[in-house]
Structure 1
Amino acid sequence: MDLFSHTWTALRTTVADLKDKDFERPSGCTGWLVRDLVCHLIIDAQDVLITLVTPTEAEPTVDATTYWHVTNSPPTGEDPLDALTVRLAAAYEDMALLKFHLDDVGSAAGRAARLAAPTARVSTQDQVLTDGDYLTAYVLEWTLHHLDLVAHLPGLPGPPAEGLAHSRAALERIAGGAFPASFGDGDALLVGTGRREPTEGERAELGSSAAELPLVLG
């Protein structure tokens, strides 16, 4: 629960420090500019708020690991929802308004997370899981999108080290195996999720597991 707040606050703080010109730079998400990614974060924050106020007495069907749908097909940016996000982002002619909207909704999501009971159950996407598992799953979401945010903005701070380490471990559980110890946490996440191609040396270290990548999470 604390790591959710820590990684979410770090991500929103980095967005708050963006200059207007930064929003027109590419992000690490295929087909999205930084402004599109920030708009997606607003939608994510809304999803957190909706889910945390959708309690259920049903037994959990997934946990923080099995919550994720995994494919091996990288996004193209042409998915209808992705395209809608781009159109929504373009409607924000003033980037200060985009920042304000993320801060407003994002702060509310952060407060809701702090008030959540770890063992309470919520329903989302026809799945049931505890609040604790749901918020734990989102640590991976925030960390990956923080990497996406700064992919072409090297002067900005990346995700917290704790979030990177946690997210690497989470991705390894999803993958069913560990990445080579020589991989830094950020590199393991970028290569593992297809955000960049492995170098020849990395591919050699991955061995046969390279054929199973990328792990595209949805």
Structure 2
Amino acid sequence: MDLFSRSWTALRAAVDDLSDEDFGRPSGCTGWLVRDLVCHLIVDAQDVLITLATPSDREPTRDALTYWEISRTPPAGDDPLDALTVRLAAAYEDPRLLKFHLDDVGSAAGRAALLADPACRVGTREEILTVGDFLATYVMEWTLHHLDLIAHLPGAEQPPTEGLARSREMLEQIVGSPFPAAFHDVDALMIGTGRRTPTEAEQAGLGPLASKVPLYLG
């Protein structure tokens, strides 16, 4: 719960630090500008609120690791929801409106997470998770999207080190193998999720893991 809060607070602070010009720069998400990614974060915050308000008495069907839909194929860029996000982001026009909406909905999502019982079960995407596992998935989501947000913003604040370490740990568990110890957490996450191509030295350092990554998490 604490790691969710720290990761989410840091990401929202990074958005708040953006200049108006930054919203028109590319993000680390292929085909999305920074403004599109921020609009997606608003939808994510709504998902947190909706899910936490959808209790269930059923047994969990997924946990923080099995929640993800895993693919070895990069997104084709033709997902209707992705296209809708771009149109919604453009409709805001003034970046300050995006900031205001994210702060408004995002703050509410953060408060709801702090008030939730980690042992309770909730429903999302036709699956059942404990609240603790659901929020753990968002530690990785917030961390990866924080990296996406600052991908073309040199000098911007990195995600919290604890969130990077936990996200790397989760990715290694999903892959079933650790990344080389020499890899910084950021590099492990970027390479492991296909956000950047490894250098020749990194590719060699991956060893057998090279055949297992990148993985695209959806």
| Residue 161 (structure 2) aligns with | 161
Structure 1 partner of 2:84 = 84
CA distance in 2: counterparts of 1:207 and 1:119, whole angstroms: 39
Matched residues, number = 218
Q: How does 1:24-43 map to 2 (within 5 A)?
A: 24-43=24-43
Per-residue CA shift, 1:179-210, capped at 9, x if unaligned?
01110000000000000001100110112321
Would the aligned equivalents of 1:123 and 1:129 in 2 still touch at CA under 8 Å? yes
Residue matched to 1:112: 112
- Alpha-carbon distance in structure 2 between the residues aligned to 1:178 and 1:83: 35
Structure 1's consecutive aligned runs of 4 or more residues displaced over 4 angstroms after TM superposition are: none
Deviation at 1:77, TM superposition (A): 2.6
CA-to-aligned-CA distance 1:128-151 (integer Å, 9 cap, x gap):
110001001110000000000000
Partner residue in 1 for 2:21 = 21
Aligned to 1:149: 149
Match of 1:74 in 2: 74
Distance 1:70 1:114 in 2: 29
RMSD: 0.7
Instruction: Tell me the amino acid that sits aligned with residue 14 of structure 1.
Output: A
- Deviation for aligned residue 1:83: 0.8
Taking the aligned partners of 1:180 and 1:77, their CA distance within structure 2 comes to 31
2:38 is aligned with 1:44: no
User: Displacement of 1:105 after TM fit?
Assistant: 0.3
- In structure 2, how many angstroms separate the alpha carbons of the residues matched to 1:145 and 1:25? 15
The amino acid that maps onto 1:130 is: T
The aligned runs of 1:96-111 (5 Å cut-off) are: 96-111=96-111
- Which residue is 1:60 aligned to? 60
CA contact (8 A) 1:64 1:137 kept: yes
SS in 1 for 2:49: helix
Q: Give 5+ residue unaligned stretches, structure 2.
A: none
For the pair 1:212 / 2:216, whether they are aligned, the reply is: no
Q: Deviations over 1:141-174 (max 9, x none)?
A: 0000000000000121010101000100010011
Distance in 1, matches of 2:211 and 2:151, equals 24
Displacement of 1:15 in angstroms is: 0.1
Maintained 8 Å contact 1:42/1:105: yes
Match of residue 6 from structure 2: 6
User: Structure 1: which 5+ runs fail to align?
Assistant: none
